[in-house]
Structure 1
Amino acid sequence: MMSQNGQFRSYGDGAILVAAFSAEGRRYDAHRHAEHQLAWASSGMLTVTSAAGTWVLPPARALWIPAGTEHAMDADRHTTVCCPYFGEGRGPRWTRPTVVAIGALARELILHLAAAELAAAARRRAEGVLLDQLAEVPVTTIAVPMPRDPRALAVARAVVDDPADDATLEMWGRRAGAAVRTLARLFPAETGMTFGRWRTQVRLRAALPLLAAGLPVATVARRVGYATPSAFVAVFRKVTGVPPATYFTNRSPSPQDRDRR
């Protein structure tokens, strides 16, 4: 267990360690663990960022982070973190960050292992069942690479701060004191995307915490810069393969879902 001062209590014999603590509104800058980590919040929401992308994790999802993977983590308000750590050689053999579903059984097992003083045999049995529950949930990550050039970076940071701002690249250039042609060249060169496509990624990434919090699609669309919910849904589905309403469910969209969205 990890106490409020961040110390582990080891159960020995290669047992899973579980860190449980309140992390309301905190950010954990880029770091690595020697162990595999299952990043999960029993309440609230976590956002994990690595070179491979950004993942928004409500309590129904967790992220398997292989040992040695650099990542940063942001906790929303009212968030309680409860992260199991697995020694090398334990758990799935995923070599990249992988989203998993956390159902009722997995949830109770993690909380049980975090809180209970268990005999070694009972702990091993509970750990084995938890490991059996870890199944990958296919999701599309939404990557937002930042440019390096100071002129493009200034524009990029402003867009991230206010994704709903619908200013054109020329308008952004005037604000940043940069020529529009320069910015139009820098974004593809340094992010691999045109400015328009890059801003779409920013808007969709900004939408994920709002969707995970249960806000209506129409509200989310407006907050991230779309004039109509239908326009937002169309772009979201094109990029992720699913409509916003099913992104945080652990199932594929049905024909009825497609008809409704």
Structure 2
Amino acid sequence: MQSHERGHLVYAAGGVLAVHTERGTSIVPANRAAWTPAGFTHHHRAHGDTDMRIVFLAPSLARLLPDHPAVFLASGLAREVLLALTGPRDHDGAAPAYSRSARSRLLRVLVDELREAPEQPLHLPEPRDDRLRAIARMLQENPANNTPLAELGTTIGASTRTLSRLFRNELGMTFYEWRTQLRVYHALVLLADGHDTTQTAYACGWSNPSGFIAAFTALIGTTPGRHRTGRTGFDLSAGGRAWGRAVPQG
């Protein structure tokens, strides 16, 4: 766990990242950028062979981005700026030695691009209520658990109406929306570890691959198969290894 005096962007040029804060987990598949404001305690976790890039922002630029953790789709221009600031794709050389004024201009372009990009629905909020936490633990341990909310409520001693209200008021979404996002997060991890679409669908609780493909595509913007084979040329069978570059804070 760590925190920084400056807000920072984490970019997944390849692989899948998760950024955990006290607010919840931001899921960062390839070509997304996760924003963590200054002062948020957090940690990163890589799934698959992950090419992680980090860019710190001065307060004058950070104030232009949300005051909460968020995930953005990186446009082609934003992606090239991130790669230019943090070094070449093949890691054979150091990041270009831009002058301070040139780096400032590139960072402003990057922030402008992200301000134009809609926030991605890839932030899974962390429940605070003990009853919701109990449900979250059950589903995190077994994403394929298809127990209806009413039965889960019976297990923890809360009514369906109470739990539905808590999900809306505390997490800003329905139980089924939250569970779908949780499952897609686990799906991204399984795909990064080399599982195919059918295996992943059943492991994450879908009764058939077509339902999984539809839900995954709605959240990620591409099918599981294209995401798995198209996001990177790395061998994704060796889970958990990450490498990356960071722009200095100065």
Sort the TM-score into its range (normalised by shorter chain).
Answer: 0.5 to 0.7
- Counterpart in the other structure of 1:73: 43
* Displacement after TM superposition at 1:35 (Å): 1.3
Map of 2:72 onto structure 1: 99
1:57 is displaced (CA, Å) by 2.2
Inter-CA distance 228–98: structure 2 relative to 1 (3 Å threshold): closer
Q: Give the 3 Å change call, closer, same or farther, for CA 185–214 of structure 1 in structure 2.
A: same
Calculate percent identity across the aligned residue pairs.
Answer: 25
Determine the structure 1 residue equivalent to 2:17: 46
Higher RCO (Cα < 8 Å, 6 or more apart): 2
Matched residue pairs, number? Answer: 211
Supply the distance in 2 between the matched residues of 1:86 and 1:49 (Cα, whole angstroms).
19
**Letter of the aligned partner of 1:149 in structure 2?**
D
CA contact (8 A) 1:147 1:190 kept: no
Which structure has the bigger radius of gyration?
1
Change (3 A) 1:233 1:62: same
The question of 1:86 aligning with 2:57 is answered: yes
Question: Structure 1 residue 125: deviation in Å?
Answer: 2.2
User: 110, 124, 128: which is aligned to 2:101?
Assistant: 124
The verdict on how the C-alpha distance between 1:164 and 1:186 changes in structure 2, with shifts beyond 3 A counting, is same
Unaligned runs of 5+ in 2: 232-250
Deviation string 1:210-231 (CA, Å, 9 cap, x unpaired) is 4566754333212211011111
Which residue of the partner structure matches residue 158 of structure 1?
A: 138
C-alpha contact 1:149 1:186 (8 A) present in aligned 2: no
Provide TM-score, normalisation by structure 2: 0.63
| Contact 2:28 2:34 (8 Å CA) reproduced | yes
Distance 2:196 2:187 in 1: 11
Give the Cα separation in 2 of the matches to 1:210 and 1:142. Answer: 18
Quote the residue 1:141 is aligned against.
122
CA deviation profile, 1:160-214 (whole Å, cap 9, x unmatched): 111112234465467x4x45xx242342132225544443332233223345667
Q: Is the 8 A contact 1:43 1:59 kept in 2?
A: yes
- Cα RMSD of the aligned pairs, angstroms, is 3.9
Q: Specify the alignment match of 2:247 in structure 1.
A: none
Residues 186 and 218 (structure 1 numbering): CA distance in 2 closer, same or farther, change over 3 Å?
same
Q: Which residue identity is paired with 1:146?
A: P
Distance 1:80 1:196, change over 3 A: closer
Unpaired runs of at least 5, structure 1: 1-27, 251-261
